[in-house]
């Protein structure tokens, strides 16, 4: 383990001439060369000479006194279900390999407008459907802290690139914990924003009503900086909230004496004893600092996981119906229309994606829609109401994962165990509230994480709390190696 400076510190040092952005770019490229053959965090990489050229441009502008952006010289990796016009966007699927989007996602445009440097597109479970980043058509990603284990999913490539120093910040997506679970497994941080705070324009959809593009980094302050750049209203996204001028980075320090933390009993049960111990230890530490920690019960939470997967699979079945072999790379051979579509999907989709589409179609089919999909949306509404009730009084503390990072292949043979890895994280997506994940310790060299949930548009409170936790644990800016 070693520590590196945060993105916000790098930008400051670049501007003050303390650090050379070109030398920093070479360091990041060196880390990618050293780690990538073993980790497989990236699906595609930007040409090294273009990365260096972008860093040289930042350096020249700083030296000439020109204005540079808030992310000047910062390297960023982008999850490969977020569209870019200069690198392929595959969503980890042969169905889209080697699709190149004609436009950039709004979040990519906003980062590049602030002089961030994109180094590559990161690996993910196919169409973001997974919790381990083993279900990619381009091979599994390994956890830099232990190469025999998974980095979580589906944003495992983004988290892994951060964990070994292959980027300063990253863009992930979070449908049911897809950014927070990898953060917990790699000693990095992630923030699932309030639904609608960050534009989804240019995100290849899996579950529209659940997913959000999420900032990922190695420190909470970097998350805040990234959120301030990428967040705010976007007319290209019909679900976008009309908010702007985010200033999460400058959130005031937390008054611990006024902090109230709620532990929802149903979100704190069933984890491995090692994770439970770390979870309660940090809460005891908060209590000793003056915070009020109380337990509450929300019984409907026990229905969250089946409700989430019913909704997610149903929306996936609808979203992925567009892939018929006509507009995208994977194509069939038959001259009969129905057979052509079937062949295209057979060749393009992996096993897990096919399975989720079939279950989604079943949940939406005549005679079962009310029993499954409509029932799940009613459960979601009750969960949202209950979570909003609790977050009006306190910040919710919950475990980020029920188990330590499993070994590669360990969970793939049992779908129920695979899906249960999201048991604590799906709540924030169903409720549409912000959730922050960060490291709180290690066990036998493996990271352990925690997550915090607040009310809608209360990202600033989470950033203040997360910064306090970093001060208590000292776990900020750590990377493997």
Dump pLDDT digits (tens) for 116-141.
999 999 999 999 999 999 999 999 99
Catalytic residue list contains 190: no
Question: What does the pLDDT read at residue 476?
Answer: 97
Of the residues 44, 59, 77, 79, only one is catalytic, namely 79
Contact call for residues 314 and 363 (beta carbons, < 8 A): yes
* Residue 332, pLDDT above cutoff 90: no
Question: What does the pLDDT read at residue 246?
Answer: 96
Give dist(CA 458, CA 387) in Å, integer.
13
Kindly report whether the peptide bond that precedes residue 154 is cis, defined as omega within 30 degrees of 0: yes
What sign has the CA pseudo-torsion 405, 415, 316, 98?
positive
Contact call for residues 332 and 325 (beta carbons, < 8 A): yes
Per the prediction, the chain carries an average pLDDT of: 97
2-253+435-479 is classed CATH 3.90.1300.10: yes
Give dist(CA 121, CA 322) in Å, integer.
23
Of the residues 178, 190, 464, 476, only one is catalytic, namely 178
Sole residue written with tokens 């409509």: 374
Mind listing the pLDDT tens digit for each residue in 258-288?
A: 999 999 999 999 999 999 999 999 999 999 9
**Cα-flanking dihedrals φ and ψ of residue 277, to 5°?**
-60, -45
Give 403-438 as a DSSP string: SSPPBTTTTTT-HHHHHGGGTTTHHHHHHT--EEEE
Catalytic residue list contains 44: no
Question: What does the pLDDT read at residue 467?
Answer: 98
Question: What does the pLDDT read at residue 282?
Answer: 98
Share of the chain above pLDDT 70, in %: 100
Give 303-337 as a DSSP string: GHHHHHHHHHHHHHHHHGGG-SSSSSS-----SSH
Question: What does the pLDDT read at residue 105?
Answer: 98
What sign has the CA pseudo-torsion 368, 374, 380, 383?
negative
Question: What does the pLDDT read at residue 413?
Answer: 86
Question: What does the pLDDT read at residue 6?
Answer: 97
Give dist(CA 111, CA 199) in Å, integer.
13
Question: Residue 80 carries which DSSP code?
Answer: T
Give 326's contacts (C-beta < 8 A, 6+ positions apart): none
Mind listing the pLDDT tens digit for each residue in 388-438?
A: 999 999 999 999 999 999 999 999 988 889 999 999 999 999 999 999 999
Alpha helix (H) residue ranges in 249-374: 273-288, 304-319, 337-348, 351-364
Of the residues 101, 154, 167, 314, only one is catalytic, namely 154
Across 51-60, 200-209, 324-333, least confident range: 324-333
Question: What does the pLDDT read at residue 330?
Answer: 86
Cα dihedral 165, 166, 168, 171 in deg (nearest 10): -130
Give dist(CA 102, CA 104) in Å, integer.
7
Sole residue written with tokens 């049992």: 414
* Residue 102, pLDDT above cutoff 90: yes
**Cα-flanking dihedrals φ and ψ of residue 43, to 5°?**
-90, -40
Question: What does the pLDDT read at residue 327?
Answer: 86
**Cα-flanking dihedrals φ and ψ of residue 120, to 5°?**
170, 175
Catalytic residue list contains 281: no
Give dist(CA 149, CA 404) in Å, integer.
9
Q: What is the pTM of this model?
A: 0.97
- 131: nearest Cα among 374, 408, 369, 445: 408
Contact call for residues 349 and 95 (beta carbons, < 8 A): yes
Contact call for residues 175 and 230 (beta carbons, < 8 A): no
Give dist(CA 200, CA 50) in Å, integer.
27
Give 128-171 as a DSSP string: G--SSS---TT----BTTBTTB---SSSHHHHHHHHTTS-SEEE
Across 47-56, 93-102, 301-310, 328-337, least confident range: 328-337
Give dist(CA 90, CA 95) in Å, integer.
8
Give dist(CA 318, CA 46) in Å, integer.
33
């Amino acid at each position: 383990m070693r520590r590196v400076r945060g993105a916000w510190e790098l930008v400051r040092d670049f501007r003050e001439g303390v650090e050379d952005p070109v030398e920093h770019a070479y360091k990041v490229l060196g880390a990618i060369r050293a780690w990538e053959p073993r980790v497989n965090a990236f699906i595609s990489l930007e040409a090294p000479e273009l990365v260096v050229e972008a860093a040289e441009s930042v350096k020249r502008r700083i030296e000439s006194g020109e204005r540079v952006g808030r992310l000047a010289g910062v390297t960023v990796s982008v999850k490969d279900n977020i569209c870019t016009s200069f690198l392929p966007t595959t969503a980890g699927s042969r169905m889209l390999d080697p699709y190149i989007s004609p436009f950039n996602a709004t979040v990519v445009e906003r980062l590049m407008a602030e002089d961030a440097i994109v180094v590559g597109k990161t690996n993910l479970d196919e169409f973001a459907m997974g919790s381990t980043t083993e279900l990619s058509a381009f091979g599994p990603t390994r956890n830099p802290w232990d190469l025999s284990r998974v980095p979580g999913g589906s944003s495992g490539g983004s988290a892994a690139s951060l964990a070994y120093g292959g980027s300063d910040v990253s863009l992930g997506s979070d449908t049911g914990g897809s950014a927070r679970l990898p953060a917990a497994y790699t000693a990095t941080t992630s923030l699932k924003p309030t639904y609608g705070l960050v534009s989804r324009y240019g995100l290849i959809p899996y579950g529209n009503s659940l997913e959000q593009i999420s900032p990922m980094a190695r420190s909470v302050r970097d998350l805040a900086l990234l959120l301030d750049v990428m967040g705010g209203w976007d007319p290209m996204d019909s679900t976008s909230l009309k908010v702007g001028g985010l200033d999460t980075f400058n959130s005031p320090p937390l008054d611990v004496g006024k902090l109230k933390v709620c532990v929802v009993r149903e979100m704190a049960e069933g984890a491995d004893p090692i994770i439970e111990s770390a979870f309660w230890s940090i809460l005891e530490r908060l209590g000793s600092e003056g915070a009020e920690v109380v337990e509450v019960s929300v019984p409907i939470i026990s229905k969250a996981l089946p409700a989430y997967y019913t909704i997610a699979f149903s929306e996936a079945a609808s979203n992925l119906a567009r892939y018929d072999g006509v507009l995208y790379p994977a194509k069939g051979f038959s001259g009969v229309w129905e057979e052509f579509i079937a062949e295209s999907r057979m060749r393009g989709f992996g096993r897990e994606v096919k399975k989720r589409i079939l279950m989604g179609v079943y949940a939406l089919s005549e005679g079962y829609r009310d029993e499954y999909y409509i029932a799940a949306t009613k459960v979601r509404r009750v969960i949202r109401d209950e979570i909003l009730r609790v977050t009006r009084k306190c910040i919710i503390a919950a475990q980020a994962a029920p188990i330590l990072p499993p070994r590669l292949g360990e969970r793939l043979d049992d779908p129920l165990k695979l899906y249960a890895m999201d048991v604590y994280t799906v709540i924030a997506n169903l409720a549409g509230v912000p959730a922050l994940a960060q490291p709180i310790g290690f066990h036998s060299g493996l990271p352990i994480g925690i997550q915090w949930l607040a009310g809608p548009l209360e990202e600033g409170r989470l950033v203040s709390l997360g910064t306090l936790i970093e001060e208590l644990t000292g776990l900020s800016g750590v990377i493997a190696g």
